[in-house]
Amino acid sequence: MTCLVVVEGESDRGFVKGLAERLGLKVEVLKMRGNRPDKAVRLVKAALEAQNYSKVIVLKDQHESREEAVREKLQKIKNGVRDKRVHAIMVKRAVEAWMLAGMGERSAESIEKPDDYLDTVLKQRGKGSYIKSFEKARQLVEEIDLQVAQKLSHTLREFIDRLRDPSNSLALSLTSIAM
Q: What is the pLDDT of residues 120-153, one digit of tens each?
A: 999 999 999 999 999 999 999 999 999 999 999 9
Q: What is the CATH number of domain 3-171?
A: 3.40.50
What span, in angstroms and rounded, lies between the C-alpha atoms of 16 and 37? 21
Cβ atoms of residues 95 and 137 within 8 Å = yes
Query: In this structure, what is the dihedral angle of CA atoms 119, 6, 89, 27, given to the nearest 10 degrees?
Result: -90
pTM for this model (two decimals): 0.87
* 113 vs 63: which has the higher pLDDT: 113
Instruction: Indicate the domain borders of the chain.
Output: 3-171
Q: How many CB atoms lie within 10 A of CB 69?
A: 11
Question: Model confidence over 88-119: pLDDT tens digits?
Answer: 998 999 999 999 999 999 999 999 999 999 99
